[in-house]
Each structure stands twice: as structure tokens, then as C-alpha cells.
Amino acid sequence: MKKKILSAIMAVVLTASFCACGKSGNDDNTITMATNAEFPPYEYHDNNKIVGIDAEIAEAIANKLGYKLEIEDIAFDSIIPELSSKKADFGMAGMTVTEDRKKSVDFSDSYASARQSIIVPENSSISGPDDLKDKIVGVQTGTTGDLYVTDDLGDDHVERYNKGMEAVQALVQGKIDAVVIDNEPAKVFVSENKGLKILDTAYAEESYAIAVNKGNTELLDKINKALAELKEDGTIDKIIDKYITAE
């Protein structure tokens, strides 16, 4: 009898040990990335697959760490709550480090540089950020474009949209005066909509990083180590060059 009880206890211990080796007690060894796949060329849908710079870098990181990558497509402003509730392991969505975001999540080392650009109609009198003071500016909800413009101009001059393309469509229809959004998706949107242009003067310069749940230093350290290796061997540059050609 005692032998049977001991065997049962050992089985439970072994099972627990195997589970503990996986992510968050998950024995299928997956790691989940939360993103908003409306942000080309960093993340977007190609048929039924999410592709782009962030998707490929995340895949390379997952491979380094020995995990299978799963990508969850949600609203941009839901990514940090998803991390805080531990429904996802990390977030990549062209996300810029800000003091406000650092209150809720921790960020990795930067893996890409970016700029917030201003899109206007070709015949617009707007020539730079200073000309936006009395205008209505479209932004994607929760992005740094939203944060910057709201802080600078106030809520009365900001129209928020769930997707960047929705803001651009509102601009095409004359409902707003300009759109502030990251430069790479801005180039895609302008190429797809005649009559628009990107101003030469940037609204802001910034860098992208990976977000993890605050206090998850174990995962953050692993991600930073993987990023360093991927930078060193040229993988990240190769991925970025695949999607962003030199002008």
C-alpha cells in the first residue's frame, strides 16, 4: 500500500516538473505574442497569416528560446492589458517606449528606429507640426501618435480610429486635416491612396521595443539575449531590409 502511495506521489511530482519546464506551466512549450496586425510592414495579414518585420523577429526569438510562436491579433490599446493579465507573454506592434507605458510593462532593448510622420492631402497648406495647432488630426487609438498629438493639441483636435487605415480613409474623405502615424505604414497608406503625401518634417523620432509583463525579468533577460545575438549575426537587419528598402 505504501509503495502504491509513494508511486502515485512520484508520478505527480514528475508531472509537475515537466509542466514547470514549459512557459507559465504550459507543457506545449508555446510563447504568445500580442500584436495589432494593421501596421504594415511591421505586422499585417497576408491571406490567413500574420507577417511582417515584428512577426519574423518574434519567430527568430522564439526559435532561439526553443518555443513555438503563437501570434494573437487584438486592438493596439488592448496589448498592454493582455500582458498585464498574463494572457500573452510579450507584445510587438511597432511599440515605442514611453514613461506612461513603463508603469504597466517592462521593455526590451530597442530593435528598430522609427519616426512619426504627418500625412496630408497634396494640396494642403500644412507644411510641418507647427501648422497642426488649429487642425483636426487623425490617429490610431493608443499609439504614440495618439499620445503625442493629444498631449500637444488636446482632445478637441484629435480623432481616434481603431486602425491606421481608417484614419487615412477619413483624411481622403475630408473629415480630418492630417494623420500622424509611424513612417513605414504611412508610406504604404500613401501609396494606396492617390492625392496624399508625407511631409518631409517628422512629428517625432522614436525607437521600437518588445513589451513584457512588468516584473517578468526572466523572460525579459532571455529576449534581450536573443535580440543581441540576432543583431550580432545580422538576422534583424536582414529581416528589416526584406520589408524596408533603402530610399
What residue type is 79 in one-letter code? I
The pLDDT of residue 18 is above 80: no
CA 28, CA 13: separation in Å to the nearest integer?
18
* Predicted confidence (pLDDT) per residue in 120-157, tens digit: 999 999 999 999 999 999 999 999 899 999 999 999 99
Predicted model pTM: 0.73
CA angle 242-227-46, nearest 5°? 35
CA 23, CA 65: separation in Å to the nearest integer?
11
* Predicted confidence (pLDDT) per residue in 86-105, tens digit: 999 999 999 999 999 999 99
Pairing of strands 38-39, 30-35: unpaired
Domains within the chain, CATH numbers bracketed:
12-111+209-243 (3.40.190.10), 113-206 (3.40.190.10)
